[in-house]
Copies of this chain bind each other. A is one copy, B any other.
């Protein structure tokens, strides 16, 4: 069962560096729009999740933010009409590089225009138009989704009254750019990538994707958590007994099994486009500096959350964002959480994140 709904645009969709003909946008919803139409909460995802943030009668499987969204949850579907969109450029119902270009009847692959976070933000506006929402109660996003939520507020001032940005940043810095650049190179240099022309559906650059995912998983957590979790435990079943460089430590076997689960569920070209979009994002592009860009914001309040052990999106970047927002909008709350799970904390340290988000709503 799937709760995914779609809307297909009747006409061209302008992107910052190109255009798409009649793209489709996928989304899921929880709760009901009230009579005043002022209770809609829009969720943007990180790089890889689908629109399935939480279970619902139409799809009882657990979503990627199951503990955060639903009846009586911090983003309470008894009170709010919650919408989560699959990002433009992704591969879970929304048009992306793995979709058919209706003007050629071929897959887009690398003919897909360079994607920006602003394009992802703008695409959500069509979903909101389609479901009859002119103004949002809140736009919320974590990781890449936090960038998209901020871009939404910058490109469509006034369309949301409130912003929540979690473990995100106002711009990408060279450390995370370097890591993502290496991840993309690992995919592109896999000969099975075939310059983006691998068979779809099919295997494609499996080894490159495995490397990219493993590196991602290493950077999404923290050294402290892994020390606590794995220590120096050895695997009970050494996977390559005759190989002096085979997997031996528990942490190696953990990475291998999780990376293998990711492969096949996410299209490599989509991964490349979304990853690059994060590098390109700089909120200061909207005005010359963060402060100048933020003068156009018509937000009433913002909540910025960061995690001390996040080294991919360091808490100093959330603090920078909160300080710049504080010059521009009436009410800014900055929360620095002591979670030890690094960048991924918003997915797992629910005991800290649930109250932090619930308080804002």
Contact = CB atoms under 8 A, between A and B. Distances in A.
Find the residue from A173, A188, A272 having the highest chain B CB count within 10 A: A173
**A interface, by DSSP: helix, strand, loop or mixed?**
helix
Contact of A175 (B114, B226, B272): B226
A314 interface: yes
A37 interface: no
B276 A172 contact: no
A250 interface: yes
A174 B207 contact: no
A186 B208 CA distance: 9
A244 B173 contact: no
A142 to B, nearest CB: 19
Contacts of A249: 174, 177, 181, 279
A27 B279 CA distance: 45
Interface string A216-258: 0010011100110111100000000000110111111001000
Contacts of A172: 232
A341 to B, nearest CB: 13
A163 to B, nearest CB: 23
Contacts of A186: 186, 211
Contacts of A301: none
Contact of A226 (B174, B226, B245): B174
Given A244-B276, A245-B188, A227 B181 contact: no
B255 A182 contact: yes
A272 B186 CA distance: 19
A182 to B, nearest CB: 5
A178 interface: yes
A211 B182 contact: yes
B174 A244 contact: no
B181 A255 contact: yes
Interface string A168-189: 0001111111110110111011
Given A181-B255, A255-B182, A174 B211 contact: no
A221 B175 CA distance: 9
A198 interface: no
A110 B173 CA distance: 40
A230 to B, nearest CB: 4
A76 interface: no
A273 B244 CA distance: 9
Interface string A307-338: 00001001000000000000000000000000
Contacts of A252: 177-178, 181
Sorted nearest first, the 10 A-B pairs with minimum C-beta distance are: A175-B223, A174-B251, A174-B230, A174-B226, A181-B252, A173-B227, A175-B226, A178-B251, A178-B218, A184-B245
10 contacts: A173-B232, A174-B229, A174-B230, A178-B214, A181-B249, A182-B255, A185-B214, A215-B215, A223-B311, A311-B311
